[in-house]
């Protein structure tokens, strides 16, 4: 649209004479605003433009999917007479798109949108709310999907953030089970459906062994527990809730695995794996990490990507380089502090415990404990 205030062919500012084409463009802009709000132009009305601004603010436009599994393509159902999309993603931050998926996803997926299939803005990754690729089964054929564009996701490349079950109904509240043990879930009165998040506990870091001259020992960090999330419309009343205990650290030995967190027979999430211990002789250089936890069972969204960070030890330079243990969506894992120190425990639900390292020392070390799991139940009317 023309910035008329910057025209310089008539002084003083801010004026500027409009050409016939510019004046017609101004009228056309106003007409488009009215037409794309769904109204029919009327010469007898002096309020249509104001009404259109209101309608554009509250109208929810649904999109139709014409793509394939894992590569979705969405255009407004009302086509060229519907919502007006911007020409690119530059101003799309926070935009919400809803469409009914034509196919289920079997792997990481993308979404491309446009006014029509001939004006697509380009495919962008669909990510979870934790900014990781959506796993298989996150999108179900025939299911209404809602996503929000987040320009900071996918390492700044921009991505569609999947908002599953956003139409679940009025949120009544949440019950959080964070103490290790077994409990029975009793829903709040009026609950018709729940979204359950299950986070398994983390594994403990490895405890370095006592070493002699010319030797060093290194414990790997603990891995994070697996995670799963699911929408349930029935079968949740009276379900058993299990919150797993984090793996315990051991002196001069591998860390223990974390326990299992679960919700009824619907979701079961194995805990993170404990870090191993390795010893090397003089002049050696080696690295050691912790494998991912086992994959969870159940849940529409799940992940077991919380492995421990790699530790590197070099006896040549007598240095130990260390990062954090496996982290979760709730926060980072325990840290490695310095050679000869016991590992630190994690304070984030499900994260792994910190590891240890010994450069010639007669004392064994203890790895940091993994954090316990958590089960969160969001209740909707």
Backbone Cα Rg of the chain = 28
Residue 24 token pair: 């017609």
Asked if residue 152 and residue 118 are part of one domain, the reply reads yes
For residue range 148-203, what is the model confidence (pLDDT) as tens digits?
Answer: 999 999 999 999 998 855 444 566 778 999 999 999 999 988 888 899 999 999 99
pLDDT classification of 242: cutoffs 50, 70, 90: very high
Report which of residues 231 and 25 the model is more confident about. 231
Asked if residue 207 and residue 123 are part of one domain, the reply reads no
Averaged pLDDT, 113-126: 91
pLDDT > 90 in the chain, percent: 29
Asked if residue 144 and residue 97 are part of one domain, the reply reads yes
Range of the domain at 18: 4-58
The answer, yes or no, to whether the previous bond of 12 is cis (omega within 30 of 0) is yes
pLDDT for 270 equals: 92
pLDDT for 312 equals: 47
| Residue entry with tokens 């993308």 | 110
Report which of residues 227 and 14 the model is more confident about. 227
For residue range 342-374, what is the model confidence (pLDDT) as tens digits?
Answer: 888 888 899 989 888 887 788 999 999 999 999
Measured distance CA(271)–CA(281) in Å, rounded: 33
Asked if residue 76 and residue 193 are part of one domain, the reply reads no
Closest CA to 354 of 209, 242, 223: 223
To 5 degrees, how large is the angle CA 200–CA 204–CA 210?
170
- Provide the 3-class DSSP secondary structure of residue 110: strand
Asked if residue 90 and residue 38 are part of one domain, the reply reads no
Asked if residue 337 and residue 219 are part of one domain, the reply reads yes
Asked if residue 124 and residue 270 are part of one domain, the reply reads no
Q: In what order do the strands lie in the sheet with 277-281?
A: 277-281, 215-219, 357-358
pLDDT for 180 equals: 97
Measured distance CA(147)–CA(140) in Å, rounded: 14
Measured distance CA(76)–CA(59) in Å, rounded: 13
Q: Which of 115, 146, 162 is the last residue of a domain?
A: 162
Asked if residue 359 and residue 272 are part of one domain, the reply reads yes
Measured distance CA(110)–CA(6) in Å, rounded: 41
pLDDT for 326 equals: 81
Q: Choose from 89-93, 105-109, 306-310 the range with maximum mean pLDDT.
A: 105-109
Q: Which of 103, 138, 162 is the last residue of a domain?
A: 162
Residue 72 token pair: 């979705």
Average pLDDT, the chain: 80
pLDDT for 157 equals: 95
Closest CA to 336 of 278, 294, 275, 279: 275
To 5 degrees, how large is the angle CA 369–CA 375–CA 379?
160
Asked if residue 374 and residue 289 are part of one domain, the reply reads yes
pLDDT for 261 equals: 96
pLDDT classification of 341: cutoffs 50, 70, 90: confident
Q: Calculate the alpha carbon distances from 322 to 223, 313, 336 in Å.
A: 14, 9, 6
pLDDT at 283 over 60: no
Give CA 367 to chain center in angstroms.
29
* 203, 223 contact by CB (below 8 A): yes
Q: Give the CB-side neighbour count of residue 99, counting CA atoms within 13 A.
A: 27
pLDDT classification of 259: cutoffs 50, 70, 90: very high
For residue range 55-89, what is the model confidence (pLDDT) as tens digits?
Answer: 555 455 678 899 999 999 999 887 666 667 777 89
pLDDT at 320 over 60: no
Residue 372: exposed, middle, or buried by beta-carbon count in 10 A (0-12, 13-18, 19+)?
A: buried
pLDDT for 4 equals: 56
Report which of residues 216 and 236 the model is more confident about. 236
pLDDT for 372 equals: 96
Closest CA to 132 of 105, 162, 167, 95: 162
Q: Which of 162, 184, 215 is the last residue of a domain?
A: 162
Measured distance CA(61)–CA(225) in Å, rounded: 39
Report which of residues 339 and 208 the model is more confident about. 208
Averaged pLDDT, 20-30: 76
Report which of residues 26 and 111 the model is more confident about. 111
pLDDT for 280 equals: 77
What are the contacts of 75-84 at 24+ separation with CB within 8 A?
A: 75/113, 75/114, 75/115, 75/116, 75/117, 76/115, 79/115, 79/116, 80/115, 80/116, 81/35, 81/36, 82/36, 83/36, 83/56, 83/59, 84/32, 84/36, 84/115
Closest CA to 343 of 362, 320, 360: 320
pLDDT for 166 equals: 44
Asked if residue 338 and residue 195 are part of one domain, the reply reads yes
* 186, 194 contact by CB (below 8 A): no
| Helices within the chain (DSSP H only) | 20-35, 48-58
Domain count, the chain: 3
Asked if residue 104 and residue 183 are part of one domain, the reply reads no
Asked if residue 315 and residue 262 are part of one domain, the reply reads yes
Report which of residues 45 and 371 the model is more confident about. 371
């Amino acid at each position: 649209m023309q910035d008329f205030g910057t025209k310089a062919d008539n002084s003083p500012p801010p004026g500027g004479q409009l050409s016939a084409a510019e004046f017609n463009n101004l009228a056309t802009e106003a007409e488009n605003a009215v037409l794309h709000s769904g109204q029919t132009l009327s010469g007898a009305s002096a309020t249509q433009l104001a009404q259109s601004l209101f309608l554009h603010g509250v109208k929810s436009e649904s999109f139709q999917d014409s793509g394939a599994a894992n590569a979705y393509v969405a255009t407004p159902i009302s086509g060229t007479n519907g919502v007006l999309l911007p020409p690119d993603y530059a101003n799309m931050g926070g935009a919400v798109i809803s469409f009914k998926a034509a196919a289920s996803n079997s792997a990481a997926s993308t979404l491309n949108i446009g006014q029509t299939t001939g004006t697509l803005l380009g495919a962008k990754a669909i990510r979870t709310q934790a900014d990781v690729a959506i796993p298989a089964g996150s999108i179900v054929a025939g299911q209404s999907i809602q996503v929000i564009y987040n320009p900071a996701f996918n390492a700044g490349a921009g991505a569609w953030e999947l908002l599953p079950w956003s139409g679940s109904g009025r949120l009544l509240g949440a019950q959080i089970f964070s103490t290790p043990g077994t409990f029975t879930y009793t829903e709040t009165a009026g609950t018709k459906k729940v979204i359950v998040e299950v986070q398994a506990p983390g594994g403990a870091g490895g405890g370095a062994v006592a070493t002699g001259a010319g030797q060093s020992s290194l414990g790997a960090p603990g891995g994070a527990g697996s995670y799963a999330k699911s929408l349930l419309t029935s079968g949740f009343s009276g379900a058993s809730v299990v919150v797993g205990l984090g793996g315990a650290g051991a002196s001069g030995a591998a860390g223990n695995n974390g326990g299992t967190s679960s919700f009824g027979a619907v979701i079961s999430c194995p805990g993170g794996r404990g870090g191993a211990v390795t010893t090397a002789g003089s002049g050696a250089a080696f690295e050691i990490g912790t494998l991912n936890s086992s994959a969870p069972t159940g849940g529409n969204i799940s992940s077991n990507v919380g492995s421990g960070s790699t530790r590197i030890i070099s006896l040549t330079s007598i240095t130990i380089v260390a990062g954090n243990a496996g982290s979760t969506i709730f926060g980072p894992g325990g840290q490695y502090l310095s050679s000869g120190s016991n590992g630190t425990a994690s304070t984030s639900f499900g994260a792994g415990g910190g590891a240890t390292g010994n450069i010639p020392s007669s004392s064994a070390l203890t790895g940091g404990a993994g954090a316990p799991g958590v089960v969160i139940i969001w209740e909707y009317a």
